[in-house]
Structure 1
Amino acid sequence: ESNLNFVFFLSHLHRLLLSEQTITPIINTKHLMISAYKDHRLSGRTRIIGIMRRDELQSLYCIFCCQHSCSLGYTAYTYMHSDHFGYPFVTTDVLCKYQPLRNATHVTISTHASITENQDQRFIPIRNKESTAMFPYNFTICISNLFGDYNNVLQFVQTMEMYKLLGVQRVVIYNTSCGPELERVLLHYKHEGTLEIVQWPIDHFLKPSAGWNFPEHPGDLHYYGQLATLNECIYRNMYQTKYLLLNDLDEIIMPYKHANLQQMMEKLEQENPGVGVFVVMNHVFPKTQFDDSGRFKVPQWQNIPGINILEHIYREPSRDSVYNPTKLLINPREVEQTSVHSVLKAWTSAVTVDPEVCRIVHVRGPLQGSLTKEQLLVDKRLWDFELIAKVDKVLQNVGLLI
């Protein structure tokens, strides 16, 4: 303890190797660092989000640096998230409970307490240095992850434009790979200022699975690191947005009794004071069932890759005996850890939203494929919005519509 305030000055600043990458290996381990954030809810301690091999945890140290000096290493406390779906690697929080440099700008995790033994160790920036109660955005969406050269352009553009009509101002996507047409669309929304693209080359470091079930989809890590990106997105947007929506690319968290998300949240918060996690139930609209009228069979979209969600107005009925994979609408400052369908740790309670108020419109392959069209429920909520002209404009801007 006598060395608590000891720091040493770097004789050559270039010895401090900085990483601006989304994924940074921890030297002499199989573990990865993702990002570091000051957690003002925990007296300003530094939280490092990582991905670690569950059966190879070892003693680790936090080392802090500022412009001219670095600290000795102090014990890093590793907390594995409870959800890992049986995969060898798990999302982790590493808490640095002591920070000897008040003005530290960068931090790393090391297997040694001295930086002199780790000259190749990369340091990552510490974000969220200041807390605020005023946010640039009201609604932000976290979407994870794009992989496998995903190229469902039409559904993506329709979903983005729908969210903008609902009051979403910003979308964050973690991108491993996507198709060439979708790449052009992503760049359009990035230049527009709506989309933040976080490069996510997880396949350069681990063998990710393309599913959630370990026996069926083997690999090192669940679903291209979906759990890590969702948690990273919460902290990335902690002081950027009032509300955060955690859902997939083919899902729309849709208000049914209100014109937009703002009106819905005002009512939900009024009815549920102190609640910071709102759980929204999933409802499947099978892409195999089409509206018979052909009203939204738009000719100019025929050669655009992807699904036209406006043609799919038939919804599968809920089944009480089958688990409904819910998604989340949260106050990010009230959440510490999340899984895909539920929050793992929070400073708040959670409520499930009545599906008559809000439900997920999920256009995808059927889950109840044996049902006939007559056994499905007609749901034309998507038709309440003027989408065609907005979608056409985007497709024209990216050169997919002549």
Structure 2
Amino acid sequence: MCRIPHDCNATHVTLLTEPRKEDQTHKLDQTPKQDPSKPSNHTWLLLRNRNNHLSDKDKMKFNFTVCISSLFGEYDNVLQFVQTLEMYRLLGVDRVVIYNTSCSQNFDRLLQIYSQEGFLEVVPWPIDKYLNPSHGWLFSQSGGDLHYYGQMTTLNECIYRNMERSRFVLLNDMDEIIMPYQHNNLMSLMNALQKDYPNTGVFRIENHVFPKTKFDPSGRFRLPQWNGVPGLNILEHIYKEEPNRKIYHPHKMIIRPRMVEQTSVHEVLKASGEQVKVPPNICRIIHVRTSIREPSYTDFQMDKRLWDFQEQLVPSVDAMLKKMGLLNQRGRAD
């Protein structure tokens, strides 16, 4: 929000809570200078969005980054998280960013392994040490000083964290996979979408719920080596609920981060460029969770899209679980 003079090529910024005498008499300098005899206690932050003459292709380190908001409540859904991250690897994701408040010992070991590989970036988020965050998304039920462990704060921070290093950012939760249905990877999907919608910065992806209580009757992927692993096996859930589009139905998003200024959980609030809803036959969210329909609902549709990747996905999941020490060399759960 600081207005920089047009003739000033600023590189860093800091925050002062009160003016200093020397600041009142000196003009804004182009670079931060420190007098060695008077060490500064100010933290200077690099301005990362000043090289506007460079193209996205020249600057971007990653093509796809997934932003996952707050991890809390001693989270322990190991199997689903491994399946999700390995699925994203197959789809072409370069980096996953997650904000950690609390998780189980097993899950913490998992985060460390993925971090050491460079695929996962874990941002410490000890918000519960400073505020009383709500444990649920609905304030009337959960109360608290801060909505849902600061979910919107982390999502916005993640956008700016990746604004200069990732061409696309996926905003979704740990139990969701943004899945293309007419392409085998995200790059092919986005190349096609950008061709059809060239001035778009926000691609809204429709949520489809796969109830975690409804299983594939064949038991094909009820694999014995995963029996002792904590968490949900998403390959067992192939029945989805058809969204009720007569009422508000949530979406998650794939965004071009340099075109987004502010986001909420299901909607981008401020952005340049256009926003489009991607047809669900092209891309939709596989969301394995508690059913959102009435108990009497029976109109389920079969969706085996995850099975298209099983030949690569199952060995990748096994390999990660072995690294964690949750599988022995014979492939059985310890």
TM-score range, shorter chain: 0.7 to 0.9
SS at match of 2:139: coil
Matches within 5 A, 1:1-80: 62-63=15-16, 72=23
Cα distance between partner residues in 1 of 2:327 and 2:48: 41
Partner AA of 2:238 in structure 1: I
| Aligned equivalent of 1:394 | 320
Shift of 1:322: 2.4
Matches within 5 A, 1:1-400: 62-63=15-16, 72=23, 100-104=28-32, 123=43, 125-128=45-48, 130-131=50-51, 132-133=54-55, 134=58, 135-371=60-296, 375-386=299-310, 387-400=313-326
Deviation track 1:181-236 (CA, whole Å, cap 9, x = no partner) reads 11111111101110000001111111111122211111111110111111111111
Give identity over the alignment, percent: 51
Deviation track 1:364-388 (CA, whole Å, cap 9, x = no partner) reads 001114245x520000001000211
Note if contact 1:38-1:129 (Cα within 8 Å) is conserved in structure 2. Answer: no
Task: Identify if the C-alpha distance between structure 1 residues 363 and 324 changes in structure 2 by more than 3 Å, giving closer, same or farther.
Answer: same
More strand by share: 1
Note if contact 1:63-1:71 (Cα within 8 Å) is conserved in structure 2. Answer: no
Task: Identify if the C-alpha distance between structure 1 residues 268 and 44 changes in structure 2 by more than 3 Å, giving closer, same or farther.
Answer: farther
Note if contact 2:134-2:144 (Cα within 8 Å) is conserved in structure 1. Answer: yes
Note if contact 1:140-1:170 (Cα within 8 Å) is conserved in structure 2. Answer: yes
Task: Identify if the C-alpha distance between structure 1 residues 228 and 47 changes in structure 2 by more than 3 Å, giving closer, same or farther.
Answer: farther
Note if contact 1:310-1:383 (Cα within 8 Å) is conserved in structure 2. Answer: yes
Shift of 1:104: 3.5
Larger RCO, structures 1/2 (Cα 8 Å, 6+ apart)? 2
Cα distance between partner residues in 1 of 2:157 and 2:3: 13
Shift of 1:62: 3.7
| Unaligned residue ranges in structure 1 (runs of 5+) | 1-35, 49-60, 74-98, 107-118
Note if contact 1:284-1:315 (Cα within 8 Å) is conserved in structure 2. Answer: yes
Cα distance between partner residues in 2 of 1:178 and 1:101: 45
Task: Identify if the C-alpha distance between structure 1 residues 101 and 71 changes in structure 2 by more than 3 Å, giving closer, same or farther.
Answer: farther
| Unaligned residue ranges in structure 2 (runs of 5+) | 329-334
Task: Identify if the C-alpha distance between structure 1 residues 188 and 275 changes in structure 2 by more than 3 Å, giving closer, same or farther.
Answer: same
Taking structure 2 as the reference length, what is the TM-score of the superposition?
0.86
Partner AA of 2:307 in structure 1: W
Cα distance between partner residues in 2 of 1:160 and 1:71: 52
Task: Identify if the C-alpha distance between structure 1 residues 126 and 47 changes in structure 2 by more than 3 Å, giving closer, same or farther.
Answer: closer
The list of structure 1 runs, each at least 4 consecutive aligned residues, that deviate by more than 6 angstroms after superposition, is 36-39, 43-48, 119-122
Task: Identify if the C-alpha distance between structure 1 residues 62 and 151 changes in structure 2 by more than 3 Å, giving closer, same or farther.
Answer: same
Note if contact 1:167-1:260 (Cα within 8 Å) is conserved in structure 2. Answer: yes
Note if contact 2:215-2:237 (Cα within 8 Å) is conserved in structure 1. Answer: yes
Cα distance between partner residues in 2 of 1:400 and 1:266: 39
Could you say what the CA RMSD is over the residues aligned between the two structures, in angstroms?
3.0
Task: Identify if the C-alpha distance between structure 1 residues 70 and 360 changes in structure 2 by more than 3 Å, giving closer, same or farther.
Answer: farther
Shift of 1:47: 11
SS at match of 1:243: strand
Q: How many residue pairs were aligned?
A: 311
| Aligned equivalent of 1:110 | none
More helix by share: 2
Partner AA of 1:63 in structure 2: L
Note if contact 1:277-1:328 (Cα within 8 Å) is conserved in structure 2. Answer: yes
| Aligned equivalent of 2:332 | none
Note if contact 2:65-2:96 (Cα within 8 Å) is conserved in structure 1. Answer: yes
